[in-house]
């Protein structure tokens, strides 16, 4: 397994693929969103909006901090921490994502600062700028590293209050990453650059009770992300216990059945999500948030 990881890492440095699950891959963060099939761009209303949809930070009227951890396919660990709060003329947020394999061969870090504002009572926009950093090592030998930036844009529209929400996210709309490869690899071009992978998502979510009065406290979400369909549901009992499930369609890496739950006590919320996998071990993610 270790030899396989070495080979994969070296190939990443050789070809610097930024397609799905390459450098600075588009990974879903936050146990609440994962439990709902990652159909979250129209819902994002907590600190994970820093990564999901920067316009979503305008839904916060308190200071809120969120932390999360997962091991993707039992190969790569991801952790993040995000914070958002309202200010006089809008909302601001910051977040850090770090990832690495178990042997520390390949590491990535993203740091984002974002700002969101409600243009109208039902329309919010946001933008964020990210600093991107990566490095690959084989033992004590540095194979290469990369540094760059990217810009995200987001929009949320709530034409019927919280009954119907629309969301749009443009991730890595503008960006640039410069790489350096160690001389040990004997490349002709030891320095090169590329654009981070652009990603879009458009979604709609609705409070089902608005249309089916018999169904209480249930949200249904539908989303298209990079031409792949996602859907999810969340039922909340007395604003304390939430049960979630969802489906993700797409290639073998993205396709999954998801489930999760959340518990909220006072200003603290704990969330857990389970994501099936067709290519490796399933993924579990834990999140905790606190508001004050």
CB-hemisphere CA count at 13 Å for 225?
Answer: 28
Q: Mean per-residue pLDDT for 243-247?
A: 97
pLDDT exceeds cutoff 90 at 171: yes
Q: Mean per-residue pLDDT for 96-124?
A: 89
Lowest mean pLDDT among 38-47, 52-61, 156-165: 156-165
Closest CA to 45 of 27, 28, 66, 68: 66
pLDDT at 23: 58
pLDDT at 269: 97
Please state, in angstroms and rounded to a whole number, the distance separating the CA atoms of residues 45 and 289: 12
Tens digit of pLDDT for each residue in 267-287? 999 999 999 987 778 888 999
Neighbours of 280 (CB within 10 A): 12
Q: Look at 16 and 50; give whichever has higher pLDDT.
A: 50
pLDDT at 78: 85
pLDDT exceeds cutoff 90 at 162: no
pLDDT at 237: 94
pLDDT exceeds cutoff 50 at 9: no
pLDDT at 236: 95
Q: Look at 196 and 82; give whichever has higher pLDDT.
A: 82
179 near 145, Cβ under 8 Å? yes
pLDDT exceeds cutoff 90 at 129: yes
Distances (CA, A) of 161 to 75, 91, 167: 41, 19, 14
Angle CA(20)–CA(28)–CA(263) in degrees, nearest 5?
160
pLDDT exceeds cutoff 60 at 230: yes
- Grade residue 10 by pLDDT with cuts at 50, 70 and 90: very low
Longest dimension (CA), the chain: 67
- Grade residue 73 by pLDDT with cuts at 50, 70 and 90: confident
pLDDT at 1: 46
Neighbours of 189 (CB within 10 A): 7
Closest CA to 18 of 169, 176, 154: 176
Structural domain boundaries of the chain? 2-291
* Topology of domain 2-291, CATH: Porin (2.40.160)
């Amino acid at each position: 397994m270790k030899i396989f990881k070495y080979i994969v890492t070296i190939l990443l440095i050789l070809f610097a693929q930024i397609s799905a699950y390459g450098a600075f891959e588009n990974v879903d963060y936050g146990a609440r969103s994962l439990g709902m099939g990652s159909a979250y761009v129209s819902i994002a209303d907590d600190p994970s909006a820093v990564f999901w949809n920067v316009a979503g930070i305008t839904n916060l009227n308190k200071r809120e901090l969120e932390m999360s951890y997962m091991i993707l396919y039992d190969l790569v660990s991801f952790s993040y921490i995000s914070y958002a709060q309202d200010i006089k003329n809008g909302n601001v947020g910051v977040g850090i994502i770090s990832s690495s394999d178990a042997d520390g061969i390949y590491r990535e870090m993203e740091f984002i600062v974002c700002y969101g504002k409600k243009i109208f009572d039902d329309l919010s926009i946001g933008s964020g700028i990210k600093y991107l950093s990566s490095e690959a090592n084989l033992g004590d030998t540095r194979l290469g590293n990369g540094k760059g930036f990217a810009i995200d844009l987001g929009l949320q529209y709530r034409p019927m209050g919280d009954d119907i929400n629309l969301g749009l996210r443009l991730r890595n709309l503008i960006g640039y990453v410069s790489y350096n490869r160690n001389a040990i690899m004997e490349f002709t071009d030891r320095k090169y650059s590329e654009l981070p992978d652009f990603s879009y998502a458009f979604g709609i979510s609705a409070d089902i009770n608005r249309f089916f009065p018999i169904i209480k406290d249930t949200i249904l979400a539908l989303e298209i992300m990079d031409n792949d369909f996602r859907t999810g549901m969340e039922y909340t009992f007395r604003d304390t216990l939430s049960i979630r499930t969802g489906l993700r369609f797409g290639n073998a890496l993205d396709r999954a059945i998801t489930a999760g739950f959340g518990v909220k006590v006072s200003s603290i919320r704990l969330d857990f999500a389970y994501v099936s996998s067709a290519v490796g071990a399933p993924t579990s993610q834990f999140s905790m948030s606190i508001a004050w």
